[in-house]
Structure 1
Amino acid sequence: MNFTQSFRLAIKSLTTSKMRAILTMLGIIIGVGAVIVILSLGNGLTGMVQQQVDKLGINMIQAQFFGGTADRLPGPEDMYDMVEANADILTGVSPYLGVNAVVRHGSDKFDRTNLYGVSEVMYNAATGYTIDGEQLAKGRFVSYMDVERRGNICIIGAYLEQEAFDGDALGKQLSINGRPLTVVGVLKRNAELEMLPGSQDDQIYIPYTTALEIMGSRWVNLYIFTSTSGETADAGKRIIEAYLNDFFRTEDGMWDYFYITTMAEQANQINAMMGVAMGVLVAIAAISLLVGGIGIMNIMLVSVTERTREIGVRKSLGAKRKDIRSQFVIEAGTTSAIGGLLGIAFGCLLAKALEALLGGMLVASLGTSGITFNATPTLGAIGLSFGVSVGIGILFGYLPANKAAKLNPIDALRYD
Structure 2
Amino acid sequence: MKYFFFILMIFAGSTAFCENLTINLGTEAIDCGKTNFYIEDVIDTRVNKEDIGTARTGMFNSITKVQMENGLDYSFLEYYSNSFQVGNDKLPILINITDFSVEEKMVPFQEKALTEAKFEFYLKRGDKYTKIFIKKLTVEHGSAVDCTKFHEENVRKIAQDMIKSFIDFGFDVSKISPDSKEFTKAELLQMKNGNTGAESSSEKRTLVTGNSFIYKNWKKTRSFTISYETARGGTYLEYRYEKTTGEGQNYTNSFCAGMGYYDVNDSEIKIIYPDNVVRSGKINVEAIPLSFYLYHFEKSGFWKGKWGAGISYYGYTGVIDMFPFDSRYYSSSTGSNFIISFDKVFGVVDAKNGNIFINLKVDYLYPLGKVNFSNYYGSIKTYAFGGPVVGISIGKYW
Q: TM-score range by the shorter chain?
A: under 0.3
* Higher relative contact order (CA closer than 8 Å, sequence separation 6+): 1
Q: Normalised by the size of structure 1, how large is the TM-score?
A: 0.24
- Larger strand fraction of residues: 2
